[in-house]
Homo-oligomer: A and B are copies of this chain.
């Protein structure tokens, strides 16, 4: 680049894109590795879809909800349009349906990768971020719902996330109730808006049995045990019974397996659950803006296999956990035999070699962030001050 000096604009990245520097990039990679390891420990097997696919596959069916968020590229080979993935869940569902149709169900798959979005949102200005998640495909059992929630919790615990809350919701509940009560489309939209604002007065203003019922459902939200009790007292239409039953059973399983898990229920939440078809959840951490992840039931692939799963957002997870421990770096003086460095590395040291003779080794160690120096065949601690 000698004849091309860096212009100020060369240092600029497009909005919502950034470089991760030391030690953050390593920290992120380790955290992703640990989350994935937890998924493996629970029998989930990793798949890796490509960064780009044909638009037709990527953005059909439930993928339509992602169309506006997806960068498009022309494929010079096929002359067809391709999309850069903006979400990995549906890629994994495609793999389950088209590449692994004969693999035994339930099929447990995990994934980690980067996604790109055309525009950021206010809560998530990033246009590139990491997704790490699992899909459990081919099981309608409440045990499947409970398994993925517990897995999200144990994975986050494994990376040191503190104050995690899992907020359960059933995005199908309100639409089912509205249909059972014969609300018009306009009324349903009105209910939806009012519920999204958690505006009790506006919900009540729907009037009649619907208004009363929806206010009671909304009011049931809160810590799981109390919410389940409150919901059980609501006189739901029969068609909504399966939704309540599943929620109740899953809470029982979760409470038995993880009595200390912070579990809340928000029975009217459905924003962001565009392709979910049943019990869903959002993960938060105390003091962290935005969600750490979300998941829930959906229909996977062409024949609509029942599936559930979740995605964690790497950037938010990193804000909810402690930073990386300081590295154990040791400076190797110029000419240190290769075998001596190798021995130190095998003992867990990160070795930093001095490339030429004559340096003030203590000063060089401090300059290179090494807390120790290899001197005369011994490990010598570097004092903070010269």
A322: interface (CB < 8 Å): no
A353 touches B128 (CB 8 A): no
A22 to B356, CA, bound (A): 47
> How many copies of this chain are found per oligomer?
2
B99 touches A19 (CB 8 A): yes
* B-contacting 9-mer, from A7-15, A167-175, A192-200, A212-220: A7-15
A371 to B238, CA, bound (A): 44
Q: Report the minimum CB–CB distance from A111 to chain B (whole Å).
A: 8
What chain B residues lie within 8 Å of A28 (beta carbons)?
48
What chain B residues lie within 8 Å of A94 (beta carbons)?
6, 10-11
- With A128-B52, A368-B104: A43-B352 Cβ-Cβ less than 8 Å: yes
What chain B residues lie within 8 Å of A141 (beta carbons)?
355-356
Contact of A139 among B139, B257, B355 (CB under 8 A): B355
Q: Report the minimum CB–CB distance from A360 to chain B (whole Å).
A: 13
A60 touches B10 (CB 8 A): yes
A17 touches B77 (CB 8 A): no
A186: interface (CB < 8 Å): no
A98 touches B50 (CB 8 A): no
A345 touches B100 (CB 8 A): no
A147 touches B353 (CB 8 A): yes
A45 touches B26 (CB 8 A): yes
A161: interface (CB < 8 Å): no
B51 touches A116 (CB 8 A): yes
A154 to B16, CA, bound (A): 37
A57 to B109, CA, bound (A): 38
With CB as the reference atom, state the residue of chain B lying closest to A120.
B77
What chain B residues lie within 8 Å of A334 (beta carbons)?
143
A14 touches B350 (CB 8 A): no
11 more A-B residue pairs beyond the given contacts A10-B98, A13-B53, with a C-beta to C-beta distance below 8 A: A1-B60, A15-B77, A15-B78, A17-B50, A22-B46, A22-B47, A26-B46, A108-B352, A114-B114, A143-B334, A154-B342
